[in-house]
Amino acid sequence: MDRNIVTRFAPSPTGYMHIGNLRTALYSFLIAKHQDGCFILRIEDTDRERLVEGAEDVIKSTLATTKLTYDEGPDVGGEHGPYVQSQRKEIYMEYAKKLVESGHAYYCFCTKERLEQLHEEDATGGYDRHCRNLSKEEVAENLAKGLPFVIRQKMPLEGRTTYTDAVFGEIGCDNVELQDQILMKADGYPTYNFCHVIDDYLMGVTHVVRGSEYLTSTPKYALLYDSFGWPRPIYVHLPLLMGKNADGSVSKLSKRHGAVSFQDLVADGYLPEAIINYIALLGWCPKGEDATTEFFSLEDLKKVFTIEAINKSPAVFDFDKLLWFNGEYIKKMDKDTYLSLAKEFVNFSVPSSIQLDKLLLLLQGRIGKLSEIAEKAAFFLALPDYDKSLFENKKNKVTPDLALAVLQEALPLLEQLTVFDNDSIYNALLQIAEKLSCKSGAVMWSLRIAVSGLAVTPGGATEIMEVIGKEETLRRIGVALAK
RNA sequence: GGCCCAUUGGUCAAGCGGUUAAGACAUCGCCCUCUCACGGCGAAAACAUGGGUUCGAUUCCCGUAUGGGUCACCA
């Protein structure tokens, strides 16, 4: 690791890790690690009114389980700390005052009431720069009186500010559009608009990676760098993650689109690796021949990820595709890992006659997410009520009468079996097809309905029998015969 | 509303002046199979629009439309 390239992930502790945020963290991490650079975690907790207990831990644990390890951060330390903004309060005031001295910022004593009234009179007007030209004496006087104040950035009144974004290219805006935004709040804490610039500079961040919602406010930050005489960082704005609304429209992915926090998804049985793989592809695609590859581990991503391959247009988060990815990842897991993880999702009681491991393994290739285990396993535990018309099946030429015959034949055959595993059962049952001169499919169909009570099941008839055991198999066939 | 950004099938997307316009998810069909699934094969499905530039535009420029973002003592 070296500091030739330094990126950071700077979330505010909200209590959950939004999936869009996670993607920003991922890209930020990858941009640094592609060149063996430095990745920093910084906590932006300057909004004292929205502090959430334990929120910082959520961030850390998410980064830990997704393996987005940071080289510097609150708990790992580093030479540019502290890495929590509330612990850096004095630094910001110091730099704000420098800006006041150099004429790039000013004290503002306007009350919130005044601002509200201003807003009422003209909702689009913004701040009227009332305090921008207060004399030094007036300022000193107000300060001496202990009047609450904020510090505002003094924006240029004419001209245009532009910057080059690594993804979007040249972005600019006329300076008249820029508000004299607040740098330091009345409570002594800085605003995001100010402190992230100070920290990024002080921490040596070379690439500022964040969502494109900041695209239009970045000229203001660039101006701040200029005011201090600092070189501007490379800006890397990421296309937004969108969610599909009920009416078909799209908007920035948010809670109303469903489970969109990392922990929600994990609790719902999605694997961290699958989530990472999927979101890596939302807004980025490998170049060249790799463009058709879809499966990437974190290590793969470190190798192939480049800023040049990041897209500009917003991407709609597709739960279907995530589900598919997740299913693929579940299939690829080795049995033991899968079993131990799957058991965490067995939130129902399992009779001792049931072979749980076999049941779970039967499900391994047939679920998209672990939380599907419960519903898919239900019929193993208790025979659902079903109608005998279920036995009818055209493809295998099964009629209720034929099914009846099959079941009657099957009962004694199965009873005789001493070894009740898939192969033995299957071989024994084949005799029935021969005897009744019907397709084996017809035999299996009839029995599968009898032991499952379902038209669609994970696994075939004999697999199900093995799982539920001989006794239960015979009982269920008995139930069927009674229909 | 002002400013900014985007626009290839339903979704993610490749393409970076000349292609039969990839691939994946989802959908549908066929095959395989002890059902479904898995797997295999296949189908349907796209360059928003109007002008330029050019021998030639999905690719470059401008307008229009549509979508999105942003205009806080939130980040």
The pLDDT tens digits of the residues spanning A226-236 come to 999 999 999 99
Residue ranges for chain A with pLDDT beneath 70: none
Nucleotide nearest to A12 (CA to C1'): B75
Helix ranges restricted to H, A268-399: 272-280, 298-304, 319-332, 335-343, 356-364, 373-381
Is the separation of the CB atoms in A218 and A163 below 8 Å? Answer: yes
Strand order in the sheet with A105-108: A105-108, A150-153, A182-184
C-alpha angle A398/A401/A407, rounded to 5°? 85
3-class secondary structure per residue, A50-63 = HCCCCHHHHHHHHH
Tell me the DSSP string of A426-460: HHHHHHHHHHHT--HHHHHHHHHHHHH--SS-SS-
**Cα A114 to Cα A10: distance, rounded to the nearest angstrom:** 33
pLDDT of residue A389: 84
Tell how strand A169-174 and strand A182-184 pair up: unpaired
pLDDT of residue A92: 98
pLDDT of residue A289: 73
pLDDT cut 70: percent of chain A above it: 100
Dihedral sign of CA atoms A94, A95, A96, A101 in order: positive
The residue written with tokens 């921008």 in the block is A132
Residues (341-400, chain A) with CB within 7 Å of strand B atoms? 365-366, 395-396
* Secondary structure of residue A272 in the 3-state scheme: helix
Question: Does residue A448 approach strand B to less than 7 Å at its CB?
Answer: yes
Nucleotide nearest to A289 (CA to C1'): B14
Report CA(A442)–C1'(B3) in Å, whole number.
69
Question: Does residue A249 approach strand B to less than 7 Å at its CB?
Answer: yes
Question: Does residue A457 approach strand B to less than 7 Å at its CB?
Answer: yes
**Cα A190 to Cα A151: distance, rounded to the nearest angstrom:** 9
Tokens of A166: 């690594």
According to DSSP, the residues that pair with A236 across neighbouring strands are: A209
Question: Does residue A191 approach strand B to less than 7 Å at its CB?
Answer: yes
Radius of gyration, alpha carbons of chain A = 32
pLDDT of residue A82: 97
Q: From 1.10.1160.10, 1.10.10.10, 3.40.50.2300, 3.20.20.70, which CATH number describes the A243-335 domain?
A: 1.10.1160.10
Q: Which of A160, A157, A144 is nearest to A107 (CA)?
A: A144
Active-site residue, selected from the candidate residues A67, A255, A321, A332: A255
Report CA(A206)–C1'(B8) in Å, whole number.
34
Give the global pTM: 0.95
Report CA(A430)–C1'(B36) in Å, whole number.
21
Topology of the domain comprising A383-483: Arc Repressor Mutant, subunit A (1.10.10)
Tell how strand A315-316 and strand A160-165 pair up: unpaired
- Strand B nucleotides within 7 Å of a protein CB: 1-8, 10-15, 22-26, 33-38, 67-75
Is the separation of the CB atoms in A237 and A214 below 8 Å? Answer: yes
Is the domain defined by A87-238 classed in CATH 3.40.50.620?
A: yes
pLDDT of residue A388: 82
Question: Does residue A291 approach strand B to less than 7 Å at its CB?
Answer: yes
Q: Is A255 part of the annotated catalytic residue set? A: yes
Residues of chain A with CATH 1.10.1160.10: 243-335
| Long-range CB contact pairs, A429-435, < 8 A, 24+ | A429/A461, A429/A462, A432/A406, A435/A409
Question: Does residue A430 approach strand B to less than 7 Å at its CB?
Answer: no
**Cα A250 to Cα A241: distance, rounded to the nearest angstrom:** 10
Residues of chain A with CATH 1.10.10.350: 383-483
Residues of chain A with CATH 3.40.50.620: 87-238
